[in-house]
């Protein structure tokens, strides 16, 4: 049996986001930053629940959400793994998601009075940072 | 269930054993100090009160502890029938009661039986379990008071005990009835032990069993209430019949002084020499002859607070105790305790194994004045010096003694179901021959109607006044003067009918007014199961009178109005208590039959919804 | 088998003049952990007493695992575990003896579960129950309740008065001890932190009424917080005509009005503008704030007598 990876996420109570959402976001970040590589085994419901001190069903809910987003998949008898093929989204979906994220970004930053160049530089630096870790 | 029983038993185990140890010590001390103690020693006031109240308090305390909110939850929140839970707990308590009380007593009685020559009958053994059952009954009443939705459950408990006491003295019957009472209490407790114990009982049986005994007690309280609305106000206004009896009433005559009593009775007569007569009686020796006597003991009775159960002979320093099991007297030496012989109805016997059936008494006698053995048919006289037993007096045919002979200065009086006999006291006591009465007088009316006889010793005989509240019938008081002459002649001097009454009849007979049904029930119960020897009397008129009296129509009308009124109130209130049709019908029925007490129990047992 | 483990219909309980439960209709399906939240006097304990048959409703009815509450069978009693804040056990008995006693009633008793759960707490079997600390008693109660393998576990403020360590142990034992799959847990608490961690379903009661029965996030989504400059707010509060729709509560912070409303969309901002408010912004709301807003709200509804 392969060992499950440790997920270094944490959840807090009193946050605006419900706990299962925090888990979803946290795992997504781990996957996006490469800390959770494709094909690595995720902890069981109970395991992650014990780590985070939450209801195992909440973990199940988070995993279900991640699974519907195509980020993780369940292999019968073996466990739950990070999806190999992260690009399970169609081109249209990808375009939509990118457009949406850009919209949000623009909304947040446009009133900050930075120049276009300064903003783009910031984005580039961040992407570089992610790739190297 | 067994685990629950065990747990509950262990909870109070220390208390029970503590009480046991305490009693054992107490008994050891008592018996050391009291050399005359015998097997009946444990039936005394202290023990009785302790076992009754002890049982009750145990029941209350234990159930209060169990009904604390979270303990209650702990008890009920488990996969057991609530009935089983209650029975397991109660069984443990019964075991405790057994350990705390009768165990010691049985040991005490058994030690007397086995280690001494004291007379120990089976009835002495039976008393211990009987008192234990009584304790259990009061324990269950304690439980019920706490468990039931209505605190008035204590009245139900009282009522059951009162009803049980009304019934007869036969041992097996008393046990049976007490067992029955316990079963009723168990049933009521089980029904009250539901997880929501704030609801009144729902079943018909539950309601009836709670209500009826309660109503018996309520009759008692309602009857006492006459003190509140009659006796006290009347006394304060100085118009109470006790203070100022009506002229011409029986109560009035009762208060007349001794030496004017005959004069008063004769005041309306046209007797020639009535003044002379009255003056003679003023100087005469006065006495009374009782017509009501305590019942004779019986073979299968339970109590042993007997009316003199032994004879003692100073000369031979022996005590002769009656044994119910042997139906003979056992004599034992005062100092050594050794058995010196037996005394049966045929005389003295040296050893018990020589006794035949003919020696044994047929019914349980009373011992009188250390020389008489009195049964309801025969009076025996004992001659200790010559070790002889002779028959002093024997009744024949249908006649039997109503009680023991009364020894007065001027006569020895004996009342039978037919006649009154007067004997010369000195001859009766000192001679050993068959007694012959100096005077005798058949009862002028039935014995039950005579409340007593007053006697005046005249030069040539006795003047006897027979009197009674119901002499000529229900509430028809009367008195008659008889002159028994020394030559045997009996002369009726005068009869008086008392037509006036001091207190109004509804006060006099308030208990009937309140509930004729319960009144009748109690009368019937008090006189059921009598043996053929009808000699159990008390101070009440016999139930013949009680049940067949012609009640005045004014009372009957009042009763009807009261009962209908009570039923009407029940009808109105039934809505307020949100009773369904069945329960409403049940309460209406009970109220119409029983009356005001039923209405009160209705109020006590139902809660506003 | 009823689909609902707990079901009430117009359940009302009146104590004198006070209505402890007011026309409560609640259905809780089998499975999962349901949290019940409410301030003191909301009627939670009364609800359990009525459900378990320890008291009778004034009007209305309830069922427990399909049995009507006034006639709960011994079988159903065996399927329900109940742990409350008092953790009352017979104090004079030893821990081992109480465990033996309880065990004797339940044929399905599971030793392993008992041992696993009690291991979270430091309980000496030879000790008398009266000598246990509150936390130890809570753990002991929970261990026995879980070992019974109930279909329904009701916990009424079980961590009240427990210190941090004991509470942690209790929650861990509750969530992670391996028990029957099909167990439903009803968890009653004030502690929002606990609720957030363990609740799958959030039931809110206030003044004897049911306010909410949904997932926590769905509930949270109903409540929104709006900040604005609105000096004339006084006009609208308590006014019938110009009243604020969905109003829960408001506070003034640094001259600004912070208003909590329920079931209002994003267009609430337009409403505020129409009322003359300025600098309107929608702020995020967390679960605790949303719940508190409900519990302390002055609804624009008639108050039950």
Per the model's pLDDT, the better-predicted residue between B171 and A63 turns out to be A63
Chain C residues within an 8 Å CB radius of A21: 217
Last residue of a domain, one of B333, B364, B394: B394
Nearest CA distance, B91 vs chain C (angstrom): 17
Clarify whether residues B497 and B575 are in a common domain.
no
Question: Is B412 in contact with B396 (CB distance < 8 Å)?
Answer: no
Are the beta carbons of A55 and C175 separated by less than 8 Å?
Answer: yes
Clarify whether residues B10 and B132 are in a common domain.
yes
Clarify whether residues B289 and B301 are in a common domain.
no
What pLDDT, on a 0 to 100 scale, did the predictor assign at position B103? 87
Would you say residue B66 lies in a domain?
yes
Clarify whether residues B346 and B376 are in a common domain.
yes
- Neighbouring chains of A at 3+ CB pairs under 8 Å are C
Would you say residue B210 lies in a domain?
no
The pair of structure tokens assigned to B345 is 């109805």
**CA B451 from chain center: how many Å?**
18
Would you say residue C302 lies in a domain?
no
What pLDDT, on a 0 to 100 scale, did the predictor assign at position B183? 96
Spatial distance between the Cα atoms of B92 and B5, rounded to a whole number of angstroms: 5
**Alpha helix positions (H), B200-335:** 204-224, 226, 232-236, 250-254, 261-266, 274-283
Lowest mean pLDDT among B458-462, B588-592, C63-67: B458-462
Nearest CA distance, B312 vs chain C (angstrom): 57
- In tens, the pLDDT along B191-241 reads 999 888 888 888 899 999 999 999 999 998 888 888 888 888 888 888 887
Clarify whether residues B37 and B148 are in a common domain.
yes
Nearest CA distance, B190 vs chain C (angstrom): 15
ipTM associated with this complex: 0.83
Answer whether C touches B (≥3 Cβ pairs < 8 Å): yes
Beta bridge partner(s), residue B423: B412
The count of domains in chain B is 4
Clarify whether residues C140 and C248 are in a common domain.
no
Clarify whether residues B109 and B169 are in a common domain.
yes
Domain ranges for chain A, please list them: 19-82, 91-132
Phi, psi of B286 (to 5 degrees): -110, 145
What pLDDT, on a 0 to 100 scale, did the predictor assign at position C178? 67
Clarify whether residues B261 and B320 are in a common domain.
no
Tell me which chain C residue has its CA closest to the CA of residue A11. C197
Q: Quick one: B609 exposed, middle or buried, by C-beta within 10 A (0-12, 13-18, 19+)?
A: exposed
Chain C interface residues (partner A, CB cutoff 8 A): 32-33, 168, 171-172, 175-176, 192-193, 196-200, 216-217, 220, 284-288
What pLDDT, on a 0 to 100 scale, did the predictor assign at position B136? 94
Clarify whether residues B327 and B424 are in a common domain.
no
Last residue of a domain, one of C192, C214, C236: C214
Q: Taking the model in full, what pTM does it have? A: 0.84
Q: Which of B248, B280, B309 is nearest to B118 (CA)?
A: B309
At residue B534, does pLDDT exceed 50?
no
Per the model's pLDDT, the better-predicted residue between C229 and C7 turns out to be C7
Clarify whether residues C184 and C257 are in a common domain.
no
Phi, psi of C74 (to 5 degrees): -60, -35
Per the model's pLDDT, the better-predicted residue between A133 and B250 turns out to be B250
Clarify whether residues B270 and B288 are in a common domain.
yes
What residues have CB less than 8 Å from B532, skipping those under 6 apart?
Answer: none
Are the beta carbons of A46 and C176 separated by less than 8 Å?
Answer: yes
Indicate the average pLDDT of chain C: 84
Tens place of pLDDT for every residue, chain A, 133 residues? 577 888 888 889 888 888 989 999 999 888 888 788 888 889 988 889 999 999 999 999 999 999 888 888 888 888 888 887 655 566 777 788 888 889 989 888 888 888 889 999 989 998 888 776 5
Q: What's the pLDDT band for C302 if we cut at 50, 70, 90? A: very low
Clarify whether residues C119 and C257 are in a common domain.
no
Q: What's the pLDDT band for C180 if we cut at 50, 70, 90? A: low
Tell me which chain C residue has its CA closest to the CA of residue A21. C217
Q: What's the pLDDT band for B93 if we cut at 50, 70, 90? A: very high
Question: Is B346 in contact with B358 (CB distance < 8 Å)?
Answer: yes
At residue C250, does pLDDT exceed 50?
yes
Clarify whether residues C34 and C117 are in a common domain.
yes
- CATH number of the domain where residue C241 is located: 3.30.70
Q: What's the pLDDT band for B536 if we cut at 50, 70, 90? A: very low
Q: What is the mean pLDDT of residues B34-43?
A: 66
Exposure string for B160-188, b = 16+ CB within 10 A, e = fewer: bbebbebbbbbbeebeebbeebbebbbbb
Spatial distance between the Cα atoms of C32 and C48, rounded to a whole number of angstroms: 18
Question: Is B67 in contact with C88 (CB distance < 8 Å)?
Answer: no
Q: What is the mean pLDDT of residues B509-527?
A: 85
Spatial distance between the Cα atoms of B238 and C238, rounded to a whole number of angstroms: 72
Would you say residue B208 lies in a domain?
no
Clarify whether residues C129 and C20 are in a common domain.
yes
Spatial distance between the Cα atoms of A132 and B54, rounded to a whole number of angstroms: 87
Q: What is the mean pLDDT of residues C199-228?
A: 89
Last residue of a domain, one of B436, B470, B502: B502
Clarify whether residues C205 and C274 are in a common domain.
no
Are the beta carbons of C90 and B72 separated by less than 8 Å?
Answer: no
Q: What is the mean pLDDT of residues B71-95?
A: 90
DSSP track, B11-45: HHHHHHHHHHHHHHHHHHHHHHH-TT--GGGG-SH
Tell me which chain A residue has its CA closest to the CA of residue C181. A57
Q: Which CATH fold would you assign to the domain A19-82?
A: Arc Repressor Mutant, subunit A (1.10.10)
Clarify whether residues C254 and C290 are in a common domain.
yes
Clarify whether residues C164 and C238 are in a common domain.
no
The count of domains in chain C is 2
What pLDDT, on a 0 to 100 scale, did the predictor assign at position B537? 46
Chain A residues within an 8 Å CB radius of C196: 13-14, 18-19
Question: Is B78 in contact with B165 (CB distance < 8 Å)?
Answer: no
Lowest mean pLDDT among B36-40, B148-152, B398-402, B465-469: B36-40
At residue C271, does pLDDT exceed 70?
yes
At residue B589, does pLDDT exceed 50?
yes
Last residue of a domain, one of C214, C238, C265: C214
Indicate the average pLDDT of chain B: 85
- In tens, the pLDDT along B572-584 reads 998 888 788 888 9
Are the beta carbons of C77 and B72 separated by less than 8 Å?
Answer: no
Exposure string for C217-241, b = 16+ CB within 10 A, e = fewer: eebbebbbbbbbebeebeebeeeee
At residue B532, does pLDDT exceed 50?
no
Which of B40-44, C1-5, C181-185 has the highest average model confidence (pLDDT)? C181-185
Q: What's the pLDDT band for B527 if we cut at 50, 70, 90? A: low
Q: What is the mean pLDDT of residues C228-246?
A: 71
- In tens, the pLDDT along C145-174 reads 888 889 999 998 888 888 888 888 888 888
- In tens, the pLDDT along B251-295 reads 888 888 877 888 888 888 887 777 877 888 888 888 999 888 877
The pair of structure tokens assigned to B143 is 């439980």
Per the model's pLDDT, the better-predicted residue between C178 and C83 turns out to be C83
Chain A residues within an 8 Å CB radius of C32: 57
At residue B13, does pLDDT exceed 70?
yes
Kindly provide the residue ranges of all beta strands, DSSP E only, lying in chain C, ordered along the sequence. Answer: 4-15, 18-29, 32-37, 59-64, 67-68, 80-84, 152-156, 184-188, 201-206, 209-214, 223-229, 247-253, 256-262, 278-283
Quick check: C80 contacting B, CB < 8 Å?
A: yes
Per the model's pLDDT, the better-predicted residue between A86 and B70 turns out to be B70
Clarify whether residues B233 and B155 are in a common domain.
no
- CATH number of the domain where residue C122 is located: 3.40.50.300
Last residue of a domain, one of C180, C214, C248: C214
Helix (H) and strand (E) counts in chain B: 22, 18
Question: Is B16 in contact with B104 (CB distance < 8 Å)?
Answer: no
Spatial distance between the Cα atoms of C224 and C231, rounded to a whole number of angstroms: 20
Q: C81 by DSSP, 3-state: which?
A: strand
Would you say residue B205 lies in a domain?
no
Chain B residues within an 8 Å CB radius of C100: 3
Q: What's the pLDDT band for B533 if we cut at 50, 70, 90? A: very low
Are the beta carbons of B7 and C90 separated by less than 8 Å?
Answer: yes
At residue C299, does pLDDT exceed 70?
no
What pLDDT, on a 0 to 100 scale, did the predictor assign at position C11? 93
Q: What's the pLDDT band for C87 if we cut at 50, 70, 90? A: low
Clarify whether residues C166 and C20 are in a common domain.
yes
Clarify whether residues B225 and B269 are in a common domain.
no
| B517, HSE (Cβ side, Cα atoms, 13 Å) | 16
What pLDDT, on a 0 to 100 scale, did the predictor assign at position C201? 93
Question: Is C83 in contact with C156 (CB distance < 8 Å)?
Answer: yes
In eight-state DSSP terms, residue B484 is E
Nearest to B79 among C56, C77, C86 (CB): C77
At residue B297, does pLDDT exceed 80?
no
Quick check: B203 contacting C, CB < 8 Å?
A: no
| B5, HSE (Cβ side, Cα atoms, 13 Å) | 11
Q: C33 by DSSP, 3-state: which?
A: strand
Would you say residue B211 lies in a domain?
no
Which percentage of chain C shows pLDDT scores above 90?
20
Nearest to A14 among C168, C199, C288 (CB): C288
Q: Which residue has the tokens 């909110």?
A: B69
DSSP track, A68-133: HTTSEEEETTTEEEE-S----S-HHHHHHHHHHHHHHHHHHHGGG---HHHHHHHHHHHHHHHHH-
Clarify whether residues C190 and C96 are in a common domain.
yes
Spatial distance between the Cα atoms of A48 and A6, rounded to a whole number of angstroms: 9
* Region class of B578: left (phi > 0), else alpha (psi between -120 and 50), else beta: left
Lowest mean pLDDT among B172-176, B302-306, B321-325: B302-306
Task: Show the domain range for B441.
Answer: 250-293+402-502
Quick check: C105 contacting B, CB < 8 Å?
A: yes
To the nearest 5 percent, what fractions of chain A are helix, strand and coil? 55, 5, 40
Which percentage of chain B shows pLDDT scores above 70?
94
Spatial distance between the Cα atoms of C62 and C25, rounded to a whole number of angstroms: 9
Q: Quick one: C244 exposed, middle or buried, by C-beta within 10 A (0-12, 13-18, 19+)?
A: buried
Question: Is B604 in contact with B152 (CB distance < 8 Å)?
Answer: yes
Residue C246's CB: how many other CB atoms inside 10 A? Answer: 19
Would you say residue B209 lies in a domain?
no
Task: Show the domain range for C175.
Answer: 4-214
Q: What's the pLDDT band for B538 if we cut at 50, 70, 90? A: very low
- Neighbouring chains of B at 3+ CB pairs under 8 Å are C
Nearest CA distance, C74 vs chain B (angstrom): 4
Residue B202's CB: how many other CB atoms inside 10 A? Answer: 12
Spatial distance between the Cα atoms of B76 and B36, rounded to a whole number of angstroms: 53
At residue B400, does pLDDT exceed 90?
no
Clarify whether residues B107 and B6 are in a common domain.
yes
Clarify whether residues C146 and C284 are in a common domain.
no
């Amino acid at each position: 049996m392969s060992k499950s990876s440790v997920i270094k996420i944490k959840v807090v109570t009193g946050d605006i986001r419900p706990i299962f959402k925090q888990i979803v976001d946290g795992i997504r970040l781990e996957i996006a930053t490469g800390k959770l590589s494709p094909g690595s085994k995720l902890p069981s419901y109970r395991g992650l629940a014990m780590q985070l001190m939450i209801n195992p069903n909440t973990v199940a809910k988070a995993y279900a959400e991640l699974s519907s987003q195509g980020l993780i998949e369940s292999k019968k008898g073996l466990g739950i793994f990070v999806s190999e093929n992260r690009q399970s989204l169609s081109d249209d979906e990808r375009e939509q998601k990118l457009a949406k994220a850009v919209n949000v970004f623009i909304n947040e930053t446009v009133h900050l009075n930075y120049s276009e160049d300064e903003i783009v530089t910031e984005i580039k630096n961040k992407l570089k940072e992610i790739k190297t870790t | 269930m067994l685990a629950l029983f065990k747990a509950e038993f262990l909870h109070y185990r220390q208390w029970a054993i503590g009480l046991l140890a305490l009693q054992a010590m107490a008994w050891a001390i008592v018996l050391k100090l009291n050399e005359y103690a015998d097997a009946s020693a444990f039936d005394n006031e202290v023990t009785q009160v302790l076992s009754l109240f002890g049982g009750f308090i145990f029941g209350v305390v234990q159930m209060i502890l169990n009904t604390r909110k979270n303990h209650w939850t702990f008890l009920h929140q488990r996969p057991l029938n609530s009935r089983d839970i209650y029975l397991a707990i109660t069984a443990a308590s019964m075991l405790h009661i057994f350990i705390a009380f009768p165990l010691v007593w049985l040991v005490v009685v058994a030690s007397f039986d086995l280690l001494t020559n004291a007379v120990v009958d089976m009835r002495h053994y039976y008393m211990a379990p009987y008192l234990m059952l009584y304790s259990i009954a009061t324990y269950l009443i304690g439980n019920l008071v706490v468990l039931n939705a209505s605190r008035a459950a204590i009245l139900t408990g009282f009522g059951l005990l009162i009803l049980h006491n009304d019934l007869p003295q036969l041992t097996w019957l008393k046990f049976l009835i007490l067992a029955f009472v316990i079963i009723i209490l168990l049933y009521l407790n089980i029904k009250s032990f539901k997880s929501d114990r704030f609801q009144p009982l729902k079943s018909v049986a539950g309601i009836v069993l709670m209500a009826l005994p309660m109503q018996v007690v309520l009759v008692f309280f309602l009857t006492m209430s006459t003190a509140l609305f009659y006796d006290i106000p009347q006394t304060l206004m100085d118009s109470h019949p006790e203070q100022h009896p009506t002229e011409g009433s029986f109560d009035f005559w009762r208060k007349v002084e001794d030496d004017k009593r005959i004069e008063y009775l004769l005041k309306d007569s046209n007797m020639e020499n009535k003044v002379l007569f009255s003056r003679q009686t003023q100087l005469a020796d006065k006495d009374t002859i009782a017509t009501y006597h305590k019942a004779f003991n019986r073979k299968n009775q339970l109590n042993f607070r007997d009316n003199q159960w032994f004879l003692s002979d100073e000369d031979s320093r022996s005590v002769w105790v009656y044994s119910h099991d042997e139906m003979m007297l056992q004599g034992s030496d005062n100092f050594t305790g050794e058995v010196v012989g037996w005394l049966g109805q045929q005389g003295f016997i040296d050893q018990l194994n020589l006794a035949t059936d003919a020696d044994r008494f047929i019914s349980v006698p009373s011992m009188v004045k250390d020389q008489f053995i009195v049964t309801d048919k025969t009076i025996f006289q004992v001659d200790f010096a010559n070790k002889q037993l002779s028959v002093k007096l024997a009744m024949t045919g249908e006649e039997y003694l109503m009680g023991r002979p009364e020894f007065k200065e001027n006569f020895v009086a004996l009342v039978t179901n037919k006649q009154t006999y007067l004997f010369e006291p000195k001859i009766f006591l000192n001679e050993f021959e068959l007694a012959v009465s100096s005077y005798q007088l058949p009862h002028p009316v039935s014995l039950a109607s005579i409340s007593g006889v007053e006697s005046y010793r005249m030069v040539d005989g006795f003047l006897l006044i027979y009197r009674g509240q119901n002499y000529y019938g229900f509430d028809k008081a009367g008195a008659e003067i008889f002159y028994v002459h020394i030559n045997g002649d009996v002369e009726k001097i005068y009869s008086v009918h008392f037509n006036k009454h001091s207190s109004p009849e509804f006060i006099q007979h308030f208990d009937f007014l309140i509930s004729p049904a319960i009144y009748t029930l109690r009368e019937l119960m008090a006189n059921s199961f009598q043996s053929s020897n009808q000699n159990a009397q008390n101070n009440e008129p016999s139930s013949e009178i009680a049940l067949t009296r012609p009640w005045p129509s004014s009372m009957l009308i009042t009763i009807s109005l009261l009962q209908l009124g009570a039923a009407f109130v029940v009808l109105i209130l039934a809505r307020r208590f949100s009773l369904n049709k069945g329960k409403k019908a049940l309460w209406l029925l009970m109220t119409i039959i029983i009356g005001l007490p039923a209405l009160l129990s209705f109020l006590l047992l139902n809660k506003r919804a | 088998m009823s689909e609902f483990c707990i079901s009430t219909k117009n359940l009302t309980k009146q104590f004198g003049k006070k209505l402890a439960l007011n026309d409560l209709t609640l259905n809780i399906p089998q499975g999962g952990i349901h949290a019940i939240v409410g301030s003191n006097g909301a009627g939670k304990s009364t609800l359990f007493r009525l459900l378990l048959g320890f008291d009778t409703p004034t009007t209305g009815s309830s069922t427990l695992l399909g049995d009507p509450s006034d006639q709960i069978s011994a079988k159903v009693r065996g399927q329900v575990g109940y742990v409350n804040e008092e953790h009352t056990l017979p104090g004079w008995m030893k821990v081992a003896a109480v465990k033996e006693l309880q065990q004797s009633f339940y044929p399905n008793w599971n030793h392993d579960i008992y041992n696993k759960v009690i291991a979270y707490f430091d309980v000496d079997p030879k000790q008398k129950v009266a000598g246990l600390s509150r936390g130890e008693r809570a753990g002991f109660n929970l261990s026995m309740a879980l070992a019974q393998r109930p279909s329904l576990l009701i916990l009424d403020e079980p961590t009240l008065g427990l210190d941090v360590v004991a509470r942690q142990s209790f929650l861990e034992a509750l969530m992670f001890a391996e028990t029957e799959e099909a167990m439903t847990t009803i968890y009653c608490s004030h502690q929002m932190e606990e609720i957030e961690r363990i609740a799958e379903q959030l039931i809110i009661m206030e003044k004897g009424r049911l306010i909410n029965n949904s997932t926590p996030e769905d509930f949270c989504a109903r409540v929104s917080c709006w900040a604005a400059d609105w000096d004339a707010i006084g006009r609208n509060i308590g006014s019938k005509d110009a009243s604020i729709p969905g109003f829960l509560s408001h506070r003034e912070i640094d001259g600004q009005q912070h208003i909590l409303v329920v079931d209002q969309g994003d267009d609430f901002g337009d409403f505020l503008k129409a009322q003359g408010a300025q600098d309107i912004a929608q702020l995020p709301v967390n679960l605790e704030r949303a719940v508190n807003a409900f519990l302390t709200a002055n609804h624009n509804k008639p108050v039950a007598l």
